[in-house]
Structure 1
Amino acid sequence: MVSKILSRSAARSLCRAATPVRSQAPQIASRCLHQQSSPITASALHRRPRTQEWSQRRSNPAVALGRRTMFIQTESTPNPDALKFNPNQRVLPESISSSFLEYLSPRSTLAPPHPSPLAANLLNVDGVTSVFFGLDYITVTKDSATPWAHIKPEVFSIITEAMASGQSIVNTVEDKAGESGQQGTEVDTLAYDENDTEVVGMIKELLETRVRPAIQEDGGDIEFRGFHDGQVLLKLRGACRTCDSSTVTLKNGIESMLMHYIEEVKGVHQVLDQEEEVAMKEFAKFEEKLRQQKGVDSVPSTVGKGSLDYVE
């Protein structure tokens, strides 16, 4: 009997002792679950995401995409002093009827009818002597004393900035004083003219279809200045204007082709500007001085009657 009473009292005491344990356990468990399920207290940095940072990240791809669309390719030309830049957009406005514009001095970049801020900036670079705008390319010519390593980075930066800014490359203003500061502002000389004779029309067609594409590929262009007494008068522009092989191009290329297809053509001459004529005369004097110093009279000259670089 005693052992049974003790066992029952022991059982009651055990139940009383177990009751608070069972009542506290769910509370402790609920608090632990609450702490683990909280999205804020579970973070080690205790930081909430900010919407402002996310909006900035979304704007970066658009900026990078805009930069990737601007691409300018550089090409060498047969003239070692001329470099051709090909942006992925049109250079000359469609309102200009000529296929090119050429700027030979800083003054020409400000004079009407087509001043150009880009040409002005390029001619301000030390060593740059002329700037040529084709329909979709730019040719920059330097002097022979300055290496391209000193000029090309700055020229490339100026062209890239001008193209990316979206500003007009060439402007058009009224020419009240009749002063033409640029070369090539008139109507395209190779364009069809109803007043041309049959021979002149054939000459223009051959120059337009066979000659001009090759010269434009080399960073230049060509002008038709007339046809007199069987002689075709032409003017090379851009990289071909100061190229040492321009005479060979006229003689072996253009002249041979025109004489082959048109029997009325007897020869081809290159027309020189006033500044170029002065330079040719000075060069002729220099050659004459060298001949006198060497005592040789049979040294051939590149300037004179009968030469492709001479026009009366």
Structure 2
Amino acid sequence: MRHLLSAGDLSRDEAVLLLDTAEEMRHIAERPIKKLPTLRGRTVVNLFFEDSTRTRISFEAAAKRLSADVINFAAKGSSVSKGESLKDTALTLQAMGADAVVIRHQASGAPKRLADAGWIDSAILNAGDGSHEHPTQALLDAFTMRRHLGDLDGRRITIVGDVLHSRVARSNALLLATLGAEVTLVAPPTLMPYGVESWPVETTYDLDSALAKTDAVMMLRVQRERMNAAYFPSAREYSRRYGLGVERLARMPEHAIVLHPGPMNRGMEITADVADCDRSVIVEQVTNGVAVRMAALYLLLGGAREAAAPASTPSATTEGQA
């Protein structure tokens, strides 16, 4: 892999390799000494044009645990706020010697533009572009499901909520289908995207029927900041029809787990009781996010060093620090 731009770009073998590598990184993260020297001397730039907490900090922690140098670049307070273009920003990063650029942008397609334009030689990782995709979120979600459910082939996954504006829903639909899962999208008709019939999913407007046979349910945040119209009558009505509360949780199979990419609108798409229950893996998703992003950075940047330094692989380095 040269870049990580879309969950749809990953073959099954590539996706499994990422998830297996993340498993190794997760084990290393549980050790007293969590650092690896794999990316020592490499520079990772977090280029965020949109606000973020979990994703930015997760990528920063992942890069630092691999011993990379990290530069955090926020659009607010930078030359971008003065009108600097994406091209000029990329040329600046190229001049600074960035080896990898983690980009979040409000415009769909911005990471691909950065990867294809020839402005910069760095590996590009998509940390969310508009309403398009968020591949590392899909990978950490699949990683979390796999740890609880085993092989995802044939598993039934339900994704509920604001699918229209959700880059997480699109990336999860593509990745989970690649891994063999059966994905069902549940949303009000107004929040189901145009062209969804071309996605590798089933769709329904009836949440209760989908929950009765699901192995995992992912609740999506209602993205009011992206809405410019009334997509549903009221928050109360949305919660009644599409929110996950204790009663709906009780109708799910006993082994089924609850996920949410965060941040949550508690009391709207999910109640506090469900968000904090023992079947919720929401906090674990955050932990797993660091391991998955370590794996992505390791595979994109570490491979070039392995021929010269075989001991930089996770297993060899772990043994060396034991």
Q: Greater relative contact order: 1 or 2 (C-alpha under 8 angstroms, separation 6 or more)? A: 2
TM-score (norm 1): 0.26
Q: Which of these two proteins has the greater Rg computed from alpha carbons?
A: 1
